[in-house]
Chains A and B, each alone.
Chain A
Amino acid sequence: MSTAAVPHADAPSSPGRGVVLEARNIVMRFGGLTAVDDVSFQVHEGEIVGLIGPNGAGKTTFFNCLTGMYKPTSGEVTLGGRALPPRPRAVVTAGMARTFQNIRLFGNMTALENVMVGRYCRTSSMALTSILRGPKFRREERESIDRGRELLRFVGLDDKADHLARNLPYGEQRRLEIARALATEPQVVLLDEPTAGMNPRETEEAMRLIFRIRELGMAVVVIEHDMRFIFTLCDRVLCLVRGALLVEGSPAQVQSDPRVIEAYIGGSEDDDISADELTEEDVEVLHAEGVDVEPSRTSARSENGR
């Protein structure tokens, strides 16, 4: 049994840090379709792990398995050394939070209320105590509001606290979803395409935000199609193809792995394609699929060259 205190020897980066999240041999089948095929991985404290792969590779399904939204056909997820039952409520209480590819905020609630709902699993006033307005209720309510405002400030939405979530611009909705996830006080945050649909400036901000989340001591697992984003941000990258883990390694290793190139450009004749060209090609492929990454190509290059 691995526990949080045992360092993982094979970790390409951050050796000496404890394993916080571990998935062992996760398999998810829907009828005859195997969406996730025997995937194992570990996430260490304070690590940013990227999850890439072509559309339909099973990345989001894997997230759903981790967070208990799907009950995996087989396999086990442990958080901080303890097995996680495949139930969303148990998962969030144990300390794992996530955001969604297609934003799922509570649209008819304000930004602050959305974050306060995130506090739900860390507060305990029952319906009756809130009716009787006990001192515990008032203290918890006060704390929830303060903490909510703090988190909104953290993601840069402190001036939008009283706006309805559905009225916020797209990029701010993404940040609000992150704030709501952080409100659950997670050890690990799973971000599902946090920059989808964002412009280059917003993408840059998102990247800085994720670094700041790591500075708070949380581990981050991020699904992303924007390769430049992933390879700049992550300590370690995993590439899923057709549900199976194809490659795992440092950004540089994954970037130059011919199998990854193969998977993304679907068996092109250019077998000796260079790593730099991969991202260009990759962007082209994604662009052809309707994912709007075109503007970020040039600007992200100059800005991220730090």
Chain B
Amino acid sequence: MDQFLQQLVNGLTIGSLYALIAVGYTVVYGIVQLINFAHGEIFMIGAFGALSTYLILFQGQTSLWVLPFLVLGAMAASVGVAVLTERVAYRPLRGAGRLAPLITAIGISVFLQEFVRLFYDKVPGLDFPSAKQKIPFPQIEVVTGPAIELGPVTIQRAAVFTIGCLIMCGAALWWFINRTRTGRGMQAVSQDPDTAKLMGINVDRVIVVAFAVGAALAAIAGVAQGLLNTNINFKMGFIAGLKAFTAAVLGGIGNVWGAILGGLVLGVLETLAVQFLPGGSPWKDVWAFALLILVLVFRPQGLLGAKVVDRA
């Protein structure tokens, strides 16, 4: 039982990470029906954005007040790259069917990984470490450090941060989608783009907002991942992105709340499977993707269904 509780906490932690990334897949899909396979790299770039901010401005600092700046740096990097890729790579392909943007997304994914791998230490005027190996991520007091003992369960401080971020982002997202003009515009575009235009909605701008919102959440996930794992690398976005995509499909792609639920379910099931099924951690990804296949066979619309950016 103790072990079950411990694994549940671990699962919720990794699940929160998946959920934060999965929202980006689902929001963009809900608006433009594009699976943005480069979204995992946006998450990776968030982590590198936070690291760069730290290296430039706060080297050696460990106080908590640094953390908001790291998050802002991460968001600036992620949102900037996401909006730029939308502008230069996806927008010219709008109306070109679904295959071309999909292949473009895979291309951008590879491009961004290799770009960080090859050029991160070559930024002129800055003394960044090479991204070819793992880079230690700044450790911040309060959110890293000795784990919290809660009865039989040990909780990493970074895990509390991660889960807290998901709760806050979920609430902010709900408010944004249901209570703001732009959020209503997003709902309208995802339900009927042609009619949305006739309401005076600038569909191109809504698409940019969708990319930016997803990237902002992925950036937070990037910081959380850095704090949890204590190091980051240029490949971290690939498998995390794949898992988050699985989570989005699991919850029902296009449905924001489905993505969050899917992320948590995937994280918990994956962690429990490693603990209680034979094979151990090498089989972790097997269980995760087996779950995806089962969902696609028996409930292809996902847990919460709906192909739109939808209300809860």
Stretch with Cβ within 8 A of B (4 or more), from A7-15, A72-80, A104-112, A204-212 = A104-112
| Interface 9-mer from B45-53, B186-194, B292-300 | B186-194
Rounded to whole angstroms, the CA-CA distance of A69 and B199 in the bound complex is 12
Bound: A109/B183 CA distance, A: 12
A121 to B184: give the CA distance in the assembly, Å: 12
Tally of A-B residue pairs with Cβ under 8 A? Answer: 89
Asked if B69 CB lies within 8 Å of chain A CBs, one says no
A122 vs B200: C-alpha distance when bound (angstroms): 8
Note all chain A residues with C-beta closer than 8 A to B197.
Answer: 87-89
In contact, A130 and B180 (Cβ under 8 angstroms): yes
Tell me whether chain A's interface is mostly helix, strand or loop, or mixed: helix
Is A120 in contact with chain B by the CB < 8 A criterion? Answer: yes
B192 touches A109 (CB 8 A): no
Contact of B290 with A by CB under 8 A? no
Q: Which residues of A contact B188 (CB under 8 A)?
A: 106, 109, 117, 120
- Chain B nearest CB from A101 CB (Å) reads 13
Interface centre among A97, A108, A123 (most CB of B within 10 A): A108
Name the residue on B nearest A87 (C-beta): B197
* A117 in complex: contacting residue of B185, B202, B308, CB < 8 Å: B185
**A106-B191, A108-B311, A117-B188 as given contacts; A130 in contact with B176, CB under 8 Å:** yes
Whether the pair B181, A109 counts as a contact (CB closer than 8 A) is no
A77 to B198, CA, bound (A): 16
In contact, B176 and A109 (Cβ under 8 angstroms)? no
Complex interface: chain B residues within 8 A of A44 (CB):
none
Cα distance A104–B200 in the bound complex, in angstroms:
15
Given the complex, which residues of B lie within 8 Å of A93, measured CB to CB?
Answer: 200
Q: Which of A104, A118, A120, A140 contacts B192 (CB 8 A)?
A: A104
Determine if B182 is an interface residue (Cβ-Cβ < 8 Å). Answer: yes
Question: In the assembled complex, how far is the CB of residue B301 from the closest CB belonging to chain A, in whole angstroms?
Answer: 15
Q: A97-B198, A122-B200 are in contact. List 4 more A-B contacts (CB 8 A).
A: A89-B198, A104-B194, A118-B199, A137-B180
A-B pairs, top 6 by smallest CB distance, nearest first, are A121-B200, A130-B180, A88-B197, A127-B182, A88-B198, A92-B200
